[in-house]
Amino acid sequence: MQSIFHDIYKHPLLPEADLQSIMHLHKQVNFNKGDIILKSGCIANEYYLLETGLVKAFVINYNEDEITTGFFTDGEIIISPPSLFQHTPSQETLQAVTDCVTWKIVFEDFQQLYHNLPGFREWGRVWFSQQLFSLKQRSLDMITETATNRYLKLIKEKPQVIQNVPLKQIATYLGVTDTSLSRIRKDIIKTAG
């Protein structure tokens, strides 16, 4: 259990005593495959550290199609930042793709840590900066990289997505049709073989 806290909240300004305080405010929550963690239209009051499992974020578009917008894998934070920090209804639904072991912290406890632990505040600043850079890179990749390269990047960075998520959901995440993704996969296998 402790390793997830050390991995996620890793920061030179967070001593072990502060990590113990942080751990104390988290509660283990398990989700089964298919469980909804946050439903579109609801306001988040917590976030989760994902110890094991896979979670997807998705929206329903104007055509009533499900579009996958993100994946959370082991060692990541399951969160809807706009909903949690602006107290607005989430546009995305967060759903367990596999059985998941998570550690929940409610917003009030997060706020307490943020105001009382300078190292936690600094960790939060760094984490948000990384998320912003990651989001910007994904936007750029959608424009500058081929669908094949985006798929190969997904395989490299989050192989558990390829192993556990239906082709159609991966395709919507990559911005291609499932037919195009099938063709890309065949081309990759042919090139590798």
150 residue type, one letter:
R
Distances (CA, A) of 103 to 26, 30, 46, 147, 160: 6, 8, 10, 34, 20
Range of the domain at 84: 2-143
Token pair recorded at residue 172: 């919507």
Distance CA 130, CA 171 (A): 25
Q: Nearest 10 degrees: CA dihedral of 109, 110, 115, 117?
A: 100
The pLDDT score that the predictor gives to residue 190 is 84
Q: How many domains does the chain have?
A: 2
pLDDT digits (tens, 9 = 90+) for 151-191: 999 999 999 999 999 999 999 999 999 999 999 999 988 88
For residue 77, the SS3 value is strand
The pLDDT score that the predictor gives to residue 191 is 84
Distance CA 66, CA 58 (A): 7
pLDDT digits (tens, 9 = 90+) for 75-97: 999 999 999 999 999 999 999 99
The pLDDT score that the predictor gives to residue 189 is 85
CATH number at residue 58: 2.60.120.10
Give yes or no: residues 137 and 150 share one domain. no
Token pair recorded at residue 13: 């300004």
Give yes or no: residues 151 and 188 share one domain. yes
Give yes or no: residues 96 and 188 share one domain. no
